Amino acid sequence: MLIPKGGMKRKMNTRNKKALSPVVASIILIAVTVAVSIAVAAWMGALSFSFMGTEQANISKLTWTPNTGFTLNVTNSGTKDLTISQIQVNYGTNGVTQPSGLPTQLKTGTSALFSVGFNYVDGTAYDISVVTSSGYKFTDNIVGGQDKV
């Protein structure tokens, strides 16, 4: 048997020096997998959000009427039609005379005017809420006797 120059050591060291080590290859595979999964999650989130509408009701105007209550204008500024089922003062309906015509459906971008019976005190802060049939409450803090224009 003929032993080449350099002996057995040279014959054993036949690994290709241009190849990636298994550790580096694993790190690259994990990084690519994470990047692709983030991209897919973002795409799916945007896709599902576009199919779902959001309810958003705003009290755009409120006028207090002495000894009787207040009149409020509610605007649907969301991306989904909503149905107003109740008007609350301080998160309840005690002492609140609900307007006639409830429940009322509001299409996106439309508004409705409601007259609510309530004995208020000038200068007292009230939380006035519009409650939808889905159970969402949209609340505005308004001081009694001070109109919101």
| Per-residue pLDDT reduced to its tens digit, 3-48 | 666 555 555 555 556 667 888 889 999 999 999 999 999 888 877 6
- State the Cα–Cα distance between residues 132 and 122, nearest whole angstrom: 28
State how far the Cα of 147 lies from the Cα of 149, in Å rounded to an integer.
6
Q: Pairing relation of β-strands 104-106 and 82-89?
A: antiparallel
Assign domain 57-143 to a CATH class: mainly beta
pLDDT for residue 94 is more than 60: yes
- What is the pLDDT, as a whole number, of residue 74? 95
- pTM summary value: 0.64
Which DSSP string do the residues of 74-97 spell out, in sequence order? EEE-SSS-EEEEEEEETTB-TT-B
The predicted-structure confidence for 104-148, as pLDDT tens digits, reads as follows: 999 999 999 999 999 999 999 999 999 999 999 999 999 999 999
Q: CA-CA distances (angstroms) from residue 107 to 74, 98, 100, 110?
A: 11, 21, 19, 6
Q: 69: which 2 tokens? A: 């209550």
User: Does the structure show a pLDDT above 90 at 2?
Assistant: no
